[in-house]
Chains A and B, each alone.
Chain A
Amino acid sequence: MTIVLTPAGDFDVKVRDGLWMTDAEAERVTGWALKPEGMCRAELCVPMPASAVRGCEVDVEAFWTKLGGPVATSEARDVWVLGAPAQERNAALEGLQAPDFTLPDIDGTPRSLSQLRGKKVFLATWASW
């Protein structure tokens, strides 16, 4: 199995020749579904070059690059990171709706920013280093 880390989470995926996977796996990992028009999410479709689709298999590395997102991989190509495209992050921030996130507290309890709707939130970072 190959590990793929995306903005949505960490996935174990069956792949071959880099990041080729079935359309079902591609949708599970990226949230985008293969259709005749290309890779689609809701109303939006990204046309795919013929070289990046074979039957019901998709080259997710090619797709993610077409989407404008960074792709990083380990030397053995057994771990991949699909990063958020810069333009997607910028658009989200420019909308001024605070991007939601879920992070664990010190006891491991997950907390989401969206739970605090209705309050003013002072969101601050720190580090031990």
Chain B
Amino acid sequence: MWQTLYDELKDKNFMVVAVAEESRGADHARPWIEQAQASGKSSYWQLVDTDHRLEDLYNLVNVPQAIWIDEQGRIVRPPETAGSTDHFRRMDLKTKTMTPEDQAERLAARQAYLEAVRAWVNTGKHALPADAARAALPKITPEIAEARARFRLGVWLRTNGRIAEGDRELAAASRLHPDSWSLWRQAADLAEVGKASGPDFWARVQALGDRPYYPPPKL
């Protein structure tokens, strides 16, 4: 998804860092990474984050989310949805298709987001002033901090063959931080590949009601 952006902007002091939140490890992420890289000659960084450490550091709750960082290492746009939209929630679950209108809108939203990244690299547009960037940061609560610790313990236990105990920690993490789709979906995927987008997932999405799954970026 980001290869075109990278190819286009790489000579402008620009880098893409794509981080796979993947507790099953590098080999599980490899096919996707190799597919993404095959389309480009040189490549951007493709990193693997088995402990979801980046989500802990930056208070992330879903994928894809992006943070924009300037030449001085300062956050100029805090975490926000990176190019995805909620149109998927209206798709026909039997055929897994969206209406042509929804597909077009979804594509347009993605293009607009990519266009915003381009504008930022080329002109600095969309970089937020410090106070606005600060105000847009989601706050980490003690419950979220505890959820991160329980999640890390759960992944460690599972990796070391203590599956049932690990799953209990992962479930506790999700209860402590119910807004994190990543914690819940990663745990579901560890239980069984595909479960992260199975019936339980759709029931959780439905339970959102009017709340967004992918809050649109405020560009």
CA distance A106 to B142 in the complex (A): 33
Q: Are B149 and A121 in contact (CB under 8 A)?
A: no
With the chains together, A121 CA to B75 CA distance in Å?
10
Chain B: interface size category:
35 or more
Chain A CB within 8 A of B56 CB: yes
B202 lies within 8 A of chain A by Cβ = no
A128 interface hit (Cβ, 8 Å): yes
Which residues of chain B are near A5, meaning CB under 8 Å?
A: 152-153, 156
Interface of A is mostly: mixed
Check B102 for interface membership: any CB of A closer than 8 A. Answer: no
Q: Which residues of B contact A82 (CB under 8 A)?
A: 149
> Are B16 and A105 neighbours in the complex by a CB distance under 8 Å?
no
CA–CA, A96 to B131, complex, Å? 10
B149 contacts A123, C-beta separation under 8 Å: no
Q: Does B169 sit at the interface, judged by CB under 8 A?
A: yes
* Segment 107-129 of A: residues with Cβ below 8 Å from B: 108, 111, 113-114, 116-129
Do A126 and B121 touch across chains, with their CB atoms under 8 A apart? Answer: no
Most buried by A among B54, B149, B189: B149
Does A83 make an interface contact (CB < 8 A)? yes
Q: Is the CB of B18 within 8 A of A124?
A: yes
6 A-B pairs with the lowest CB-CB distances in the bound complex, closest first: A83-B149, A129-B189, A129-B196, A70-B146, A124-B66, A103-B47
Binding site for B on A (CB under 8 A): 3, 5, 68-75, 79, 81-86, 89-90, 92-94, 96-99, 101, 103-106, 108, 111, 113-114, 116-129
Q: List 29 A-B contacts (CB under 8 A).
A: A72-B169, A79-B153, A82-B149, A83-B146, A84-B56, A86-B145, A89-B57, A89-B145, A96-B130, A99-B57, A101-B54, A103-B53, A105-B45, A113-B69, A114-B73, A116-B15, A118-B13, A121-B15, A122-B15, A122-B66, A124-B66, A124-B67, A125-B54, A125-B64, A125-B182, A128-B22, A128-B24, A128-B28, A129-B196
